[in-house]
């Protein structure tokens, strides 16, 4: 029996109890019994079957009335822990801030007795949904210098820097395609012909493309700037959908003749043809964690 079917059985059982009470005690109407209870009902959960899903999975909780989003935030959690945003009204979306780890096992919980409607009535429903993620990665393309490759994942920035080679890696905990600030890092050097040595030549209108889960995201170059290696604001979450790429550079922003310089050339590009971001921009509360140590990339 799946999550939705089990919930339907519990709701049906509650209705049977109400009808029996009205038969045993004729002075008590069904409306009175329902009015005394009248707690929010969780009508549907999507996805409602344990299975394997994309790393961009979103949990949708459909209630029979608008809910207090702060209480949904307190009631919801993932194991292992995942930063997420909650938005909506009667349909509440629990959106992981970042792509989930590839080929990993997760369990989503909704704790009973915590979620409330706008009148403060408590929902007694509970959810325990286990699922796995696929192992597919994000593909990045930059036509201006003919780069195309999978974005490499790791659990810490230094780990990413050590394995990306001539490719590109996702800064752990920083965004997902199409939402927020999706941050990637690459190597650049005046001594080695890395593809991202050409990052410095991007100009307004140049495209940065991301593909994941059958969806394509096209970003357009918006700015290039030089920052110090301690200026971690470039990996902070943003309300708008952007992609940030940074590489090591010399003080003038060009490829450095030495390894591990204290500067980062940073390109930012804005999502073009923005998809429906309403549920993310209306998020009542955003929990996020971004590692606060900038890695060394050549």
> Could you say which of 133, 159, 188 is where a domain stops?
133
Among candidates 190, 168, 203, 202, which has minimal Cα distance to 263? 190
Structure confidence at residue 282 (pLDDT): 33
Would you state the pLDDT for residue 249?
A: 94
pLDDT at 154: 77
Is 234 inside any structural domain?
yes
Q: Cβ-count burial of 15 within 10 angstroms (0-12 exposed, 13-18 middle, 19+ buried)?
A: exposed
Confirm whether 127 is domain-assigned: yes
Last residue of a domain, one of 133, 151, 183: 133
If pLDDT is split at 50, 70 and 90, which confidence band does 49 have? confident
Of 185, 280, 288, nearest to 237 (Cα)?
A: 288
Burial of 290 (0-12, 13-18, 19+ CB in 10 A): buried
pLDDT of residue 152: 87
Looking at the structure, do residues 80 and 207 belong to the same domain, yes or no? Answer: no
23 Cβ neighbours under 8 A, 6+ residues apart: none
Residues 116 and 224 both lie in one domain: no
* In-domain check, residue 10: no
Listed residues 111, 133, 155: the one ending a domain = 133
Percentage of residues of the chain with pLDDT beyond 90: 53
Please report whether residue 1 resides in a domain.
no
Supply the range of the domain harboring residue 70: 39-133
List pLDDT tens digits, range 161-192. Answer: 777 888 899 988 888 898 899 999 999 999 99
Residues 189 and 256 in one domain: yes
pLDDT in tens, 207-259: 999 999 888 999 999 999 999 999 999 999 998 999 999 999 999 989 999 88
DSSP assigned state of 40: -
DSSP string, 121-188: PBP---EEEEEEE-----EEEEGGGTEEEEEE--SSHHHHHHH-TTSEEEPTTS-BTTBSEEEEEE--
Say what the pLDDT of residue 92 is.
Answer: 94
Element (H, E) at 14: helix 3-24
Q: At what angle do helices 3-24 and 30-37 cross, to 10 degrees?
A: 130
Residue 210: inside a domain, yes or no? yes
Residue 74: give its domain's CATH number.
2.60.40.3710
> Predicted confidence band at 47 (pLDDT cuts at 50, 70, 90)?
confident
pLDDT value at 284 more than 50: no
Q: CA–CA distance from 11 to each of 19, 20, 64, 268 (Å)? A: 13, 15, 12, 50
Q: Are residues 194 and 57 in the same domain?
A: no
- pLDDT of 12 reads 52
Domain identity same for 63 and 164: no
Query: Is the Cα torsion angle 81, 234, 142, 168 positive or negative in sign?
Result: negative
Mean pLDDT (whole number) for 40-50: 86
Specify which of 10-14, 101-105, 267-271, 272-276 reaches the highest per-range mean pLDDT. 267-271
Instruction: Quote the pTM value.
Output: 0.68
Does the pLDDT at position 24 exceed 80?
no
The encoded tokens of residue 155 equal 């659990």
Residue 227, in any domain of the structure = yes
Q: Is residue 264 part of a domain?
A: yes
Q: Which candidate, 19, 30, 55, 31, places its Cα nearest to that of 137? A: 55
Provide the mean pLDDT of the chain: 81
In a domain, 16, yes or no: no
Question: Is 247 found in the same domain as 146?
Answer: yes
Number of domains within the chain? 2
- 290, 173 in Cβ contact below 8 A? yes
Whether 110 and 152 share a structural domain: no
pLDDT value at 281 more than 90: no
Contact between 207 and 219 under an 8 Å Cβ cutoff? The reply is yes
Q: Are residues 225 and 147 in the same domain?
A: yes
Question: CATH number for the domain including 239?
Answer: 2.40.260.10
Q: Give the model's pLDDT for residue 73.
A: 95
């Amino acid at each position: 029996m799946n999550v939705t079917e089990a919930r339907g059985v519990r709701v049906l059982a509650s209705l049977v109890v109400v009808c029996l009470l009205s038969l045993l005690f004729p002075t008590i109407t069904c409306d009175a019994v329902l009015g005394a209870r009248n707690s929010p009902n969780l009508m549907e959960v999507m996805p409602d079957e344990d299975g394997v899903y994309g790393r961009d999975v979103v949990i949708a909780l459909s209630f029979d009335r608008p809910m207090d989003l702060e209480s949904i935030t307190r009631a919801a959690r993932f194991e292992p822990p995942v930063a997420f945003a909650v938005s909506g009204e009667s349909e509440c979306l629990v959106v992981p801030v970042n792509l989930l780890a590839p080929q990993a096992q997760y369990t989503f919980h909704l704790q009973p007795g915590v979620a409330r409607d706008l009148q403060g009535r408590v929902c007694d429903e509970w959810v325990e949904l286990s699922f796995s993620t696929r192992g597919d990665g994000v593909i990045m393309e930059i036509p201006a210098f003919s780069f195309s490759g999978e974005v490499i994942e790791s659990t810490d920035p230094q780990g990413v820097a050590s394995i990306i080679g001539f490719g590109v890696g996702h800064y752990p905990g920083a965004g997902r395609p199409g939402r927020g600030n999706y941050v990637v890092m690459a190597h650049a050097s005046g001594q080695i012909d890395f593809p991202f040595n050409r990052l410095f030549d991007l100009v307004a209108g140049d495209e940065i493309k991301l593909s994941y889960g059958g969806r394509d995201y096209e970003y357009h170059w918006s700015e290039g700037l030089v920052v110090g290696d301690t200026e971690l604001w470039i990996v902070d979450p943003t309300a708008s959908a952007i992609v940030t790429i940074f590489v090591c550079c010399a003080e003038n922003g060009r490829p450095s003749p030495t390894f591990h310089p204290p500067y980062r050339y940073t390109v930012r590009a804005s999502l073009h043809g923005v998809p429906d971001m309403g549920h993310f921009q209306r998020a009542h509360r955003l929990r996020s964690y971004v590692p606060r140590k900038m890695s060394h990339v050549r």
